[in-house]
Structure 1
Amino acid sequence: MLRPILLVCCVGTFYAEKVRYDGHKIIRVTPNSEAEFYQLDEFQQYLAKERVDIWHKSSGPNSHLDFRVGPDMGYILGHLRLTSRVLIPNVQAYIDYELKTNIMSKQHAGAGFDYRMYHDLDEIMDWMKDIVSQYSEIAQLFPITESFEGRQLNGIKISVDPRPGKPGIWLEGGIHAREWISPATVIYMTGQFLEQNGKDPNVTAALKAFDVYIVPVVNIDGYEYTRKTDRMWRKTRSKRDGQRCVGVDPNRNWDFHWCAQPGASTDPCSDSYCGPSAFSEKVVSGIADYIQNKTINVVGFIDFHSYSQLWMTPWGYTKALPKDADAQDVTSAAAVGAIESVHGTKYKYGSIANIIYVATGSSADWTYGGANIEYSVGVELRDTGKYGFLLPPDQIVPSGQETLAGVLAFMSSINMSK
C-alpha cells in the first residue's frame, strides 16, 4: 500500500492523526513520441496496479504524467525507463506552506468572510447562509441531499427577474476533495455575482438572462476529511460492508458509460474507483435528481476541478466528438479568451478525452448525454504543475477573477446562440 494506513473509527465522528507526506515527491514524465508513450502507458498501468497516487495521467506524446512517490518507493522508479524530473521535491513542505499562508491570511483578515483564504466546511456553510440572507431578494439556499456521513448538501440559487422556464446555469466545485482551489474559486465567483449585480454590466446582463445554481462543495465528506486528516484525499468517504477501502471517485460515478474501460477503475482502493453501481454516491445522485427537476431549465453546466488550465467539453468516454462540438467550441473559445484577458493565464480547450485523457462516468458526459444539457463543461483550474493540488491561497482571488470572466463569456456566448 502506498497511501499511509489510517485508523478511522466511527465514520464522520472521529478522525485519525493527520497524514504526513514528508519526503514525498511529485515526478513528471513527458513522452516525446508514440514509442515513448507506449512505454509510459505500460508504466502507468503498473502504477495503477500498485495504487500509486497519479496527479495527472498521460494520454499520448507530449502529454505528461505526474505521480507521487514516497521516500520508501524507489522500486517504483526502478520500473521507469524514460527521463523524468522532480516537479515538487517535498509534498509536505508544500502542504505546510499552504497552511501557513492560509493562517497568515486569516490573522490579517477583518470582520466577515475572507475570499483570499481556504475555509473549512463549517465556515463555508455559515457563509452560504449569511450571503443568501444578505441578498435575500435575489438569492436563496436550496437543499439537494444528505451525504454518506449525514451532512446536508445545499446550493445557492441566484435569480433576478424570475420567470417560468428561465434558462439556468449550474456551477459546482469540490467534486474531488483535494482540489481546494475549486470550491474557493466557486465561492469567490458567487460573491461577485451577488455583489456586482446592478454594478458590473456583464454580471448584470448574465443574471438577467439566466438563473444561476451554485454548489460550492459537492464532495462535502471528502473535503472535510482533507481538512482534518489527509490533505491528498480525492474520493468520497462512503464505506460498504466487507469493503476494505473507503470512498468512490464521484466523477466516475455518473450514469453515462459508467465504469466503461479504460476510463475508470473497478478496484475499490483506486482513486478512480467508479463505485459499486452508477449513482451509488448520494451527493452525485442527489445533484442528478435536482438537475432533472421539471421546474428548472438548466442549459449550461460547469464542474470545476484542478489542475491543468483546461476548458473541456464532452466526450470523456471516447475521442469521437459529439454532434454539438462546433457550438461547444464557440463557447469554449469565448471563455478561454476572456480568462486570458484578465491575468494572461492561458487555457486550452477541447473534448475531455482528446485534451486530457479518457474518463468514463463523468459529470459533463452525463449532463450532456443523459440530461441533454448542450453546454456541459469540465474545467481544470490553475496551475499547470508548479503547485498542482497545493495552490497557495494568494492565487484564490486571481483564479476567481479570471474564471468569472470566462464564465460570463461562456454565458454570453450561450445567450447569443439562442
Structure 2
Amino acid sequence: MSGPMRPVLLALLLQIGVASVERVEYDYYKYHPMPEITAWMAQTVKDHPDVVTEIAYGTSYEGRVITLLKIGLETGIKKKAIWMDCGIHAREWISPAFCQYFVKQLLQEYQTDGKLGEMMKNMDFYVTPVLNIDGYSFTWTNSSNRLWRKSRSPGPAGCDCHGTDLNRNFNVNWGTVGISSNCCSQVYCGSGPLSENEAQAVAQFVAERKNDFLCFLTIHSYGQLLLLPYGHPNAVAPNYQELMEVGLGAAEAIKKVHGMHYRVGTSPDILYPNSGSSRDWARLIGIPFSFTFELRDNGTYKFELPEKQIQPACEEAYAGALHIIDYAHDKQFGHSGTAPATTATLWMVLAAALVSSSALL
C-alpha cells in the first residue's frame, strides 16, 4: 500500500497494538463476578510477589477452590496474624467489595505509613475475598436468585431445597438459637456442626494456627453494626468489656469518615440471638478479638447497596477495621512494635549523641 492512506493505517495499527497490551485498571467501586475476583487475586500476587501469596485452603461443594491472600513482609521469624473473610452470605455483595478494597489500601499504604509498615513486619494478613463461592456465583448467574444467602449443597434426604447458612454451621452452641432445622429456611444450620465444606475449610485453617491469630474479622451486610461474641444470650466473652471498648472506638473511627453511625454490642443485645457463627467460634477457640461487621445500610437498599455507595462504605469500614487491628497489634507488641531499629535510625542516634558531646566540650 502506498499513498496518503499508508501512514494513517500504520498509526491506527500502532494504536491498536498499544491498546492491546495496556492493562485495564481494576475498578474497586463496582461489583465483580467471581471470575473477575479470581483474576484480580492472581494479578495482585503478580504485582506484589514480595508481600502477597495466594493460598488454596478448601474446596466448595460444587468443586470451586477456596483461596485467600496472605499479605505480609517476610521476616524469617514466626509472626502473628489477622484473619478477614468476606462473602460468607452470597447476597451481601458489598462484603467482597470491601475485602478487595482492604487489600488495595493495605498494599498502597504500608510503604509510606510507618504504622502499617510495622504491622506488615509483625503480622500477616489472611484475607478471603469470597468464602461462599458457590452461593456468590449463583447470585450472578441466576438473576431470579440475586438474594440467595446460603451455600449450594443439597439438603438432607427428602428435602428439595438447597443450601446451609454457613454462619450457623460452626461448632459453637450449634443448633440452639437463631437457627432452623428446616432445610428450606434461610437460617438452616446444616445436618451437624461443620457439615459444610466451606465452614470446614475455615475451621481447619484457622484452628491449626489459632495461637497466631490476634484478630478474626468477618464482613457482612447490612445494618451498620459491630457485633462481638457471643450470639447466645446465656454466654459472655471473658473479655467482653474490652471488646466493647474496642468496638466503640472502631465505631467512632467509622463515624469520623462519613458521619455514619454503627451500633456496637452482642447480637442478642442489638440484633437477635444466633448460634453457630464463625465470630463466636473464633472467640471460643481463643482468638481474643473477634468481630462481625454489618456494613451499610440501615434498610433502604438492604442487600442491594448501589455501586455509588461502595467507595464511602469501604472507606469508613476500613477505618473501623484498622482501629481494631491497631489495638490488637499494640496490645501484643507495644506501641513501637518489635521491628528492630534500622541502620539509618542508629546513625541518626549516633549523630545526635556526637552533637550533644561536642556541645559540652
Q: Which is richer in helix?
A: 2
- Aligned pair in 2 of structure 1 residues 286, 391: CA closer, same or farther (>3 Å)? same
Q: 1:287 matched to which residue of 2?
A: 202
CA distance in structure 1 between the partners assigned to 2:222 and 2:122 by the alignment: 30
Q: 1:70 matched to which residue of 2?
A: none
Q: Would you say the 8 A contact 1:321–1:351 is kept in 2?
A: no
Q: Would you say the 8 A contact 1:319–1:358 is kept in 2?
A: no
Q: Would you say the 8 A contact 2:210–2:287 is kept in 1?
A: no
CA distance in structure 2 between the partners assigned to 1:162 and 1:340 by the alignment: 35
Letter in 2 for 1:187: Q
Q: Would you say the 8 A contact 2:237–2:283 is kept in 1?
A: no
Q: Would you say the 8 A contact 2:58–2:197 is kept in 1?
A: yes
Q: 1:339 matched to which residue of 2?
A: 254
Q: 1:411 matched to which residue of 2?
A: 325
CA distance in structure 2 between the partners assigned to 1:416 and 1:191 by the alignment: 23
| Overall identity of the aligned pairs, in % | 36
Q: 1:116 matched to which residue of 2?
A: 29
How many correspondences in the alignment? 307
> Which of 224, 227, 234 is matched with 1:312 structurally?
227
Residue 163 of structure 1: CA displacement? 4.7
Q: 1:248 matched to which residue of 2?
A: 164
- Aligned pair in 2 of structure 1 residues 387, 268: CA closer, same or farther (>3 Å)? same
Q: Deviations over 1:68-123 (max 9, x none)?
A: xxxxxxxxxxxxxxxxxxxxxxxxxxxxxxxxxxxxxxxxxx81211010000000
**1:198 partner SS:** coil
Letter in 2 for 1:323: P
Alignment of 1:79-158 (within 5 A): 111-158=24-71
Q: 1:81 matched to which residue of 2?
A: none
CA distance in structure 1 between the partners assigned to 2:120 and 2:315 by the alignment: 17
- Aligned pair in 2 of structure 1 residues 294, 232: CA closer, same or farther (>3 Å)? closer
Q: Deviations over 1:382-418 (max 9, x none)?
A: 0111111110011111111111111111111112323
CA distance in structure 2 between the partners assigned to 1:296 and 1:123 by the alignment: 34
Unaligned runs of 5+ in 1: 1-109
Alignment of 1:342-381 (within 5 A): 342-369=257-284, 371-381=285-295
Q: Would you say the 8 A contact 2:83–2:125 is kept in 1?
A: yes
Q: 2:214 matched to which residue of 1?
A: 299
CA distance in structure 2 between the partners assigned to 1:244 and 1:251 by the alignment: 21
CA distance in structure 1 between the partners assigned to 2:282 and 2:250 by the alignment: 19
Letter in 2 for 1:209: N
Letter in 2 for 1:204: G
Letter in 2 for 1:257: N
> Which of 392, 397, 409 is matched with 2:306 structurally?
392
Q: 2:108 matched to which residue of 1?
A: 195
CA distance in structure 2 between the partners assigned to 1:228 and 1:372 by the alignment: 39
Q: 2:182 matched to which residue of 1?
A: 267
Residue 201 of structure 1: CA displacement? 3.7
Letter in 2 for 1:243: C
**1:399 partner SS:** helix
* Stretch deviating more after TM superposition (287-296 or 348-357): 287-296
CA distance in structure 2 between the partners assigned to 1:386 and 1:162 by the alignment: 46
Q: 2:90 matched to which residue of 1?
A: 177
CA distance in structure 2 between the partners assigned to 1:168 and 1:213 by the alignment: 7
CA distance in structure 1 between the partners assigned to 2:299 and 2:274 by the alignment: 20
CA distance in structure 1 between the partners assigned to 2:75 and 2:315 by the alignment: 26
- Aligned pair in 2 of structure 1 residues 333, 161: CA closer, same or farther (>3 Å)? farther
Letter in 2 for 1:297: D
Q: Would you say the 8 A contact 1:168–1:296 is kept in 2?
A: no
Q: Would you say the 8 A contact 2:211–2:287 is kept in 1?
A: no
CA distance in structure 2 between the partners assigned to 1:228 and 1:280 by the alignment: 25
Q: Would you say the 8 A contact 1:145–1:152 is kept in 2?
A: yes
Residue 233 of structure 1: CA displacement? 0.3
Unaligned runs of 5+ in 2: 1-22, 333-361
Residue 192 of structure 1: CA displacement? 0.8
- Aligned pair in 2 of structure 1 residues 319, 392: CA closer, same or farther (>3 Å)? farther
CA distance in structure 2 between the partners assigned to 1:143 and 1:198 by the alignment: 27
Which of these two proteins has the greater Rg computed from alpha carbons?
2
Letter in 2 for 1:401: E
**2:186 partner SS:** coil
Q: Deviations over 1:331-378 (max 9, x none)?
A: 212211111111111111111221111011001111111x21111111
Q: Would you say the 8 A contact 1:206–1:408 is kept in 2?
A: no
Letter in 1 for 2:317: T
**1:177 partner SS:** coil
CA distance in structure 1 between the partners assigned to 2:103 and 2:314 by the alignment: 10
Q: With structure 1 as the length reference, what TM-score do the two structures score?
A: 0.71
- Aligned pair in 2 of structure 1 residues 163, 383: CA closer, same or farther (>3 Å)? farther
Letter in 1 for 2:213: V
CA distance in structure 2 between the partners assigned to 1:163 and 1:354 by the alignment: 44
Q: Would you say the 8 A contact 1:317–1:361 is kept in 2?
A: no
Alpha-carbon RMSD across the aligned residues, in angstroms, is 1.6
CA distance in structure 2 between the partners assigned to 1:388 and 1:248 by the alignment: 21
Residue 330 of structure 1: CA displacement? 2.4
Q: 2:149 matched to which residue of 1?
A: 234
CA distance in structure 1 between the partners assigned to 2:55 and 2:297 by the alignment: 32
Letter in 1 for 2:35: D
Q: 1:327 matched to which residue of 2?
A: 242
